[in-house]
Amino acid sequence: MTIGELAKTSGVNAKLIRHYESIGLIPKAARTESGYRFYKESDAQFLRFIKRARSLGFSIKEIKTLIGLWRNKSRASKEVKALAKNHIKELEKKIKEMQEMVDNLQSLARSCHGDSRPECPIIKSLEE
Amino acid sequence: MTIGELAKTSGVNAKLIRHYESIGLIPKAARTESGYRFYKESDAQFLRFIKRARSLGFSIKEIKTLIGLWRNKSRASKEVKALAKNHIKELEKKIKEMQEMVDNLQSLARSCHGDSRPECPIIKSLEE
DNA sequence: TATTGACCTTCCAATAATGGGAAGGTGGAA
DNA sequence: TTCCACCTTCCCATTATTGGAAGGTCAATA
Protein backbone atom coordinates (compact mmCIF):
# COMPACT_ATOMS: atom_id res chain seq x y z
CA MET A 1 0.00 0.00 0.00
CA THR A 2 1.32 3.46 -0.82
CA ILE A 3 1.00 6.30 1.65
CA GLY A 4 -1.90 7.72 -0.35
CA GLU A 5 -3.81 4.46 -0.16
CA LEU A 6 -3.06 4.17 3.53
CA ALA A 7 -4.37 7.68 4.01
CA LYS A 8 -7.64 6.68 2.37
CA THR A 9 -8.13 3.47 4.28
CA SER A 10 -7.07 4.91 7.64
CA GLY A 11 -8.69 8.31 7.34
CA VAL A 12 -5.44 10.01 8.33
CA ASN A 13 -4.03 12.19 5.60
CA ALA A 14 -0.65 11.46 4.06
CA LYS A 15 0.95 14.62 5.32
CA LEU A 16 0.05 13.71 8.85
CA ILE A 17 1.22 10.12 8.48
CA ARG A 18 4.67 11.37 7.52
CA HIS A 19 4.58 13.74 10.45
CA TYR A 20 3.65 10.94 12.85
CA GLU A 21 6.57 8.97 11.52
CA SER A 22 8.93 11.89 11.98
CA ILE A 23 8.03 12.33 15.63
CA GLY A 24 8.28 8.61 16.31
CA LEU A 25 4.59 8.01 16.96
CA ILE A 26 4.57 5.32 14.30
CA PRO A 27 7.58 3.28 13.19
CA LYS A 28 9.58 4.21 10.11
CA ALA A 29 7.93 2.79 7.04
CA ALA A 30 9.64 0.31 4.74
CA ARG A 31 10.67 1.75 1.37
CA THR A 32 10.59 0.59 -2.23
CA GLU A 33 13.79 0.79 -4.29
CA SER A 34 12.83 4.21 -5.49
CA GLY A 35 12.22 5.47 -1.99
CA TYR A 36 8.43 5.29 -1.78
CA ARG A 37 7.02 4.28 1.60
CA PHE A 38 4.91 1.14 1.59
CA TYR A 39 2.53 -0.23 4.18
CA LYS A 40 0.47 -3.24 5.12
CA GLU A 41 -3.12 -3.56 6.36
CA SER A 42 -2.18 -3.54 10.01
CA ASP A 43 -0.65 -0.10 9.62
CA ALA A 44 -4.11 1.21 8.78
CA GLN A 45 -5.48 -0.30 11.95
CA PHE A 46 -2.72 1.36 13.89
CA LEU A 47 -3.52 4.74 12.43
CA ARG A 48 -7.21 4.28 13.12
CA PHE A 49 -6.31 3.58 16.72
CA ILE A 50 -4.43 6.87 16.86
CA LYS A 51 -7.22 8.73 15.15
CA ARG A 52 -9.82 7.44 17.60
CA ALA A 53 -7.65 8.36 20.53
CA ARG A 54 -7.20 11.88 19.11
CA SER A 55 -10.94 12.20 18.72
CA LEU A 56 -11.24 11.48 22.42
CA GLY A 57 -8.92 14.37 23.04
CA PHE A 58 -5.81 12.42 24.00
CA SER A 59 -2.59 14.26 23.23
CA ILE A 60 0.13 12.68 21.13
CA LYS A 61 2.15 12.13 24.26
CA GLU A 62 -0.74 10.37 25.97
CA ILE A 63 -1.27 8.32 22.84
CA LYS A 64 2.30 7.12 23.00
CA THR A 65 1.50 5.76 26.43
CA LEU A 66 -1.78 4.29 25.19
CA ILE A 67 0.06 2.51 22.39
CA GLY A 68 2.39 0.98 24.92
CA LEU A 69 -0.57 -0.23 26.94
CA TRP A 70 -2.27 -1.51 23.82
CA ARG A 71 0.74 -3.55 22.80
CA ASN A 72 1.35 -4.92 26.24
CA LYS A 73 -1.19 -7.71 26.26
CA SER A 74 -0.62 -8.50 29.91
CA ARG A 75 -0.86 -5.04 31.47
CA ALA A 76 -3.59 -4.50 34.04
CA SER A 77 -6.76 -2.77 32.87
CA LYS A 78 -6.46 -0.44 35.85
CA GLU A 79 -3.45 1.17 34.19
CA VAL A 80 -5.53 2.10 31.18
CA LYS A 81 -8.41 3.18 33.34
CA ALA A 82 -6.14 5.42 35.37
CA LEU A 83 -4.89 7.12 32.22
CA ALA A 84 -8.43 7.64 31.02
CA LYS A 85 -9.58 8.98 34.37
CA ASN A 86 -6.71 11.41 34.44
CA HIS A 87 -7.52 12.57 30.96
CA ILE A 88 -11.15 13.06 31.92
CA LYS A 89 -10.03 15.25 34.80
CA GLU A 90 -7.96 17.45 32.51
CA LEU A 91 -10.81 17.80 30.08
CA GLU A 92 -13.22 18.67 32.86
CA LYS A 93 -10.86 21.29 34.18
CA LYS A 94 -10.67 22.98 30.80
CA ILE A 95 -14.41 22.75 30.37
CA LYS A 96 -14.92 24.39 33.73
CA GLU A 97 -12.58 27.24 32.84
CA MET A 98 -14.32 27.82 29.56
CA GLN A 99 -17.73 27.64 31.17
CA GLU A 100 -16.66 30.33 33.60
CA MET A 101 -15.61 32.51 30.69
CA VAL A 102 -18.99 31.95 29.06
CA ASP A 103 -20.85 32.75 32.26
CA ASN A 104 -18.93 35.96 32.77
CA LEU A 105 -19.45 37.02 29.21
CA GLN A 106 -23.12 36.13 29.28
CA SER A 107 -23.70 38.28 32.28
CA LEU A 108 -21.82 41.16 30.72
CA ALA A 109 -23.69 40.77 27.45
CA ARG A 110 -27.01 40.71 29.28
CA SER A 111 -26.25 44.02 30.92
CA CYS A 112 -25.25 45.59 27.61
CA HIS A 113 -28.06 47.40 25.83
CA GLY A 114 -26.69 46.40 22.48
CA ASP A 115 -28.14 49.38 20.68
CA SER A 116 -26.63 52.37 18.97
CA ARG A 117 -25.52 54.06 22.19
CA PRO A 118 -21.84 53.85 23.03
CA GLU A 119 -22.19 52.93 26.73
CA CYS A 120 -21.09 49.34 27.08
CA PRO A 121 -20.57 47.36 30.29
CA ILE A 122 -18.52 44.77 28.41
CA ILE A 123 -15.86 47.29 27.53
CA LYS A 124 -16.15 48.90 30.93
CA SER A 125 -15.43 45.62 32.65
CA LEU A 126 -12.19 45.33 30.73
CA GLU A 127 -11.05 48.78 31.77
CA GLU A 128 -11.19 48.37 35.50
CA MET B 1 8.67 53.04 34.18
CA THR B 2 10.94 50.29 32.89
CA ILE B 3 9.52 47.18 31.27
CA GLY B 4 10.14 45.23 34.46
CA GLU B 5 8.15 47.69 36.52
CA LEU B 6 5.40 47.71 33.94
CA ALA B 7 5.33 43.93 34.10
CA LYS B 8 4.78 44.10 37.83
CA THR B 9 2.08 46.74 37.79
CA SER B 10 0.23 45.25 34.82
CA GLY B 11 0.61 41.61 35.68
CA VAL B 12 1.86 40.84 32.16
CA ASN B 13 5.40 39.57 32.11
CA ALA B 14 8.14 41.51 30.33
CA LYS B 15 8.76 38.87 27.73
CA LEU B 16 5.15 38.96 26.71
CA ILE B 17 5.03 42.76 26.64
CA ARG B 18 7.87 42.77 24.13
CA HIS B 19 6.06 40.11 22.15
CA TYR B 20 2.84 42.13 22.13
CA GLU B 21 4.82 45.05 20.82
CA SER B 22 6.40 42.95 18.10
CA ILE B 23 3.06 41.76 16.79
CA GLY B 24 1.60 45.25 16.89
CA LEU B 25 -0.92 44.60 19.63
CA ILE B 26 0.53 47.50 21.62
CA PRO B 27 2.38 50.48 20.12
CA LYS B 28 6.17 50.63 20.02
CA ALA B 29 7.51 51.88 23.30
CA ALA B 30 9.58 55.05 23.63
CA ARG B 31 13.24 54.46 24.38
CA THR B 32 15.88 55.99 26.63
CA GLU B 33 19.21 57.03 25.12
CA SER B 34 20.67 53.66 25.97
CA GLY B 35 17.82 51.83 24.28
CA TYR B 36 15.72 50.84 27.28
CA ARG B 37 11.97 50.92 26.76
CA PHE B 38 10.07 53.23 29.06
CA TYR B 39 6.39 53.47 29.84
CA LYS B 40 3.78 55.56 31.56
CA GLU B 41 0.91 54.62 33.87
CA SER B 42 -1.66 54.40 31.10
CA ASP B 43 0.36 51.66 29.43
CA ALA B 44 -0.29 49.49 32.46
CA GLN B 45 -4.01 50.08 32.13
CA PHE B 46 -3.80 49.08 28.50
CA LEU B 47 -2.04 45.86 29.35
CA ARG B 48 -4.55 45.07 32.06
CA PHE B 49 -7.29 45.52 29.48
CA ILE B 50 -5.57 42.97 27.28
CA LYS B 51 -5.01 40.61 30.17
CA ARG B 52 -8.66 40.70 31.19
CA ALA B 53 -9.77 40.08 27.65
CA ARG B 54 -7.40 37.11 27.41
CA SER B 55 -8.81 35.73 30.64
CA LEU B 56 -12.24 35.81 29.02
CA GLY B 57 -10.81 33.69 26.24
CA PHE B 58 -10.63 36.33 23.52
CA SER B 59 -7.90 35.65 20.96
CA ILE B 60 -5.26 38.24 20.18
CA LYS B 61 -7.03 38.92 16.91
CA GLU B 62 -10.34 39.51 18.67
CA ILE B 63 -8.57 41.70 21.17
CA LYS B 64 -7.28 43.87 18.37
CA THR B 65 -10.88 44.45 17.39
CA LEU B 66 -11.87 45.04 21.01
CA ILE B 67 -9.14 47.65 21.36
CA GLY B 68 -10.49 49.43 18.32
CA LEU B 69 -13.96 49.41 19.84
CA TRP B 70 -12.59 50.53 23.17
CA ARG B 71 -10.82 53.49 21.64
CA ASN B 72 -13.73 54.49 19.48
CA LYS B 73 -15.80 56.36 22.01
CA SER B 74 -18.74 56.76 19.66
CA ARG B 75 -19.19 53.21 18.42
CA ALA B 76 -22.48 51.51 19.13
CA SER B 77 -22.63 49.10 22.05
CA LYS B 78 -24.27 46.57 19.77
CA GLU B 79 -20.97 46.16 17.96
CA VAL B 80 -19.26 45.10 21.14
CA LYS B 81 -22.16 42.91 22.14
CA ALA B 82 -22.08 41.16 18.76
CA LEU B 83 -18.40 40.38 19.18
CA ALA B 84 -19.01 39.02 22.66
CA LYS B 85 -21.96 36.93 21.51
CA ASN B 86 -19.93 35.47 18.72
CA HIS B 87 -17.14 34.63 21.10
CA ILE B 88 -19.60 32.96 23.44
CA LYS B 89 -20.79 30.78 20.57
CA GLU B 90 -17.28 29.65 19.78
CA LEU B 91 -16.59 28.85 23.40
CA GLU B 92 -19.82 26.91 23.70
CA LYS B 93 -19.01 24.91 20.61
CA LYS B 94 -15.66 23.87 22.04
CA ILE B 95 -17.23 23.07 25.39
CA LYS B 96 -19.73 20.84 23.69
CA GLU B 97 -17.03 18.96 21.83
CA MET B 98 -15.04 18.43 24.96
CA GLN B 99 -18.09 17.37 26.91
CA GLU B 100 -18.78 14.73 24.30
CA MET B 101 -15.25 13.44 24.72
CA VAL B 102 -15.74 13.27 28.46
CA ASP B 103 -19.06 11.47 28.12
CA ASN B 104 -17.58 8.88 25.80
CA LEU B 105 -14.62 8.32 28.04
CA GLN B 106 -16.74 8.12 31.15
CA SER B 107 -18.87 5.41 29.67
CA LEU B 108 -15.80 3.49 28.58
CA ALA B 109 -14.17 3.91 31.96
CA ARG B 110 -17.33 2.71 33.70
CA SER B 111 -17.31 -0.49 31.71
CA CYS B 112 -13.65 -1.14 32.48
CA HIS B 113 -13.06 -3.32 35.50
CA GLY B 114 -9.93 -1.41 36.36
CA ASP B 115 -8.31 -4.32 38.11
CA SER B 116 -5.27 -6.45 37.40
CA ARG B 117 -6.85 -8.27 34.49
CA PRO B 118 -5.75 -7.20 31.02
CA GLU B 119 -9.19 -7.07 29.38
CA CYS B 120 -10.03 -3.44 28.81
CA PRO B 121 -12.99 -1.97 26.91
CA ILE B 122 -11.20 1.37 26.62
CA ILE B 123 -8.41 -0.11 24.57
CA LYS B 124 -10.87 -2.29 22.70
CA SER B 125 -12.89 0.72 21.64
CA LEU B 126 -9.80 2.22 20.06
CA GLU B 127 -9.07 -0.91 18.07
CA GLU B 128 -12.32 -1.23 16.20
C1' DT C 1 37.59 53.03 40.73
C1' DA C 2 36.53 48.37 39.92
C1' DT C 3 33.39 44.97 40.56
C1' DT C 4 29.05 42.89 41.11
C1' DG C 5 24.27 41.84 40.49
C1' DA C 6 20.03 43.05 38.68
C1' DC C 7 18.09 44.54 34.86
C1' DC C 8 17.83 45.58 29.96
C1' DT C 9 18.55 44.50 24.78
C1' DT C 10 17.97 41.32 20.45
C1' DC C 11 17.70 36.94 18.24
C1' DC C 12 16.65 32.17 17.98
C1' DA C 13 14.10 28.26 19.38
C1' DA C 14 10.58 25.31 21.44
C1' DT C 15 5.96 24.06 22.68
C1' DA C 16 1.21 20.98 20.02
C1' DA C 17 -0.90 19.44 15.93
C1' DT C 18 -1.82 20.18 11.45
C1' DG C 19 -1.76 22.14 6.90
C1' DG C 20 0.25 24.33 2.77
C1' DG C 21 3.47 24.87 -0.81
C1' DA C 22 7.74 24.47 -3.60
C1' DA C 23 10.98 21.78 -6.23
C1' DG C 24 11.91 17.65 -8.01
C1' DG C 25 11.67 12.35 -8.81
C1' DT C 26 8.61 8.05 -10.16
C1' DG C 27 4.96 5.02 -12.13
C1' DG C 28 1.91 3.66 -15.40
C1' DA C 29 -1.04 4.51 -19.26
C1' DA C 30 -2.09 6.54 -23.80
C1' DT D 1 7.34 10.18 -25.40
C1' DT D 2 4.45 12.58 -22.98
C1' DC D 3 1.41 13.36 -19.32
C1' DC D 4 -0.80 13.15 -14.95
C1' DA D 5 -1.13 11.57 -10.56
C1' DC D 6 1.52 10.40 -7.01
C1' DC D 7 5.66 10.30 -4.30
C1' DT D 8 9.90 12.53 -1.97
C1' DT D 9 12.13 16.21 1.28
C1' DC D 10 12.38 20.74 3.15
C1' DC D 11 10.65 24.95 4.76
C1' DC D 12 7.00 27.82 6.48
C1' DA D 13 2.59 29.22 8.95
C1' DT D 14 -0.58 28.82 12.49
C1' DT D 15 -1.56 30.42 18.29
C1' DA D 16 0.23 32.28 22.55
C1' DT D 17 3.76 32.03 25.47
C1' DT D 18 8.11 30.92 27.42
C1' DG D 19 13.01 29.86 27.51
C1' DG D 20 17.79 30.67 26.73
C1' DA D 21 22.07 32.78 24.98
C1' DA D 22 25.09 36.62 24.32
C1' DG D 23 25.85 40.99 25.37
C1' DG D 24 24.97 46.04 27.08
C1' DT D 25 23.53 49.26 31.18
C1' DC D 26 22.63 50.96 35.77
C1' DA D 27 23.38 51.69 40.51
C1' DA D 28 25.40 50.37 44.69
C1' DT D 29 29.16 48.67 47.24
C1' DA D 30 34.01 47.34 48.49
Q: Please report, rounded to whole angstroms, the spatial distance between the CA atom of protein residue A13 and the C1' atom of nucleotide D3.
A: 26
The pLDDT value recorded for residue A125 is 95
Whether any strand D atom is under 7 angstroms from the Cβ of A4: the reply reads: yes
**Quick one: pLDDT at residue A25?**
96
Check residue A49 and give its pLDDT: 97
In this structure, are residues B17 and B3 in contact, taking their beta carbons and an 8 Å threshold?
yes
Between A and B, how many CB-CB pairs are < 8 A? 147
- The full length of chain A comes to 128
Does pLDDT of A128 surpass 90? no
**pLDDT class for A56, splitting at 50, 70, 90?**
very high
Interface contact flag, B95 A99, Cβ < 8 Å:
yes
**A113 pLDDT above the threshold of 90:** yes
State the distance between the two ends of chain A, measured CA to CA, in whole angstroms.
Answer: 61
Q: What is the mean pLDDT of residues A83-105?
A: 96
**Protein CA at B108 to nucleotide C1' at D26, angstroms:** 62
Give just the sign of the alpha carbon dihedral B105, B107, B113, B119.
negative
- pLDDT, averaged per 10 consecutive residues of chain B (128 residues), comes to 97 97 96 96 96 96 95 95 95 96 96 95 92
Query: Angle at CA B53, nearest 5°, toward B50 and B55?
Result: 110
Assess whether B14 (CB) lies less than 7 A from strand D: no
Strand partners, A37: A31
Can you tell me the distance from the alpha carbon of A28 to that of B46, in angstroms, rounded to the nearest whole number?
Answer: 50
Residue B128 has what pLDDT? 78
For residue A126, give the nearest of B49, B114, B122 by CB distance.
B49
Instruction: Label residues B14-41 b or e (16+ Cβ within 10 Å = b).
Output: bebbeebeeeebbeebeeeeeeebebee
User: H or E element: which one contains A30?
Assistant: strand A30-31
- Residues of B in Cβ contact (< 8 Å) with A117: 76-77
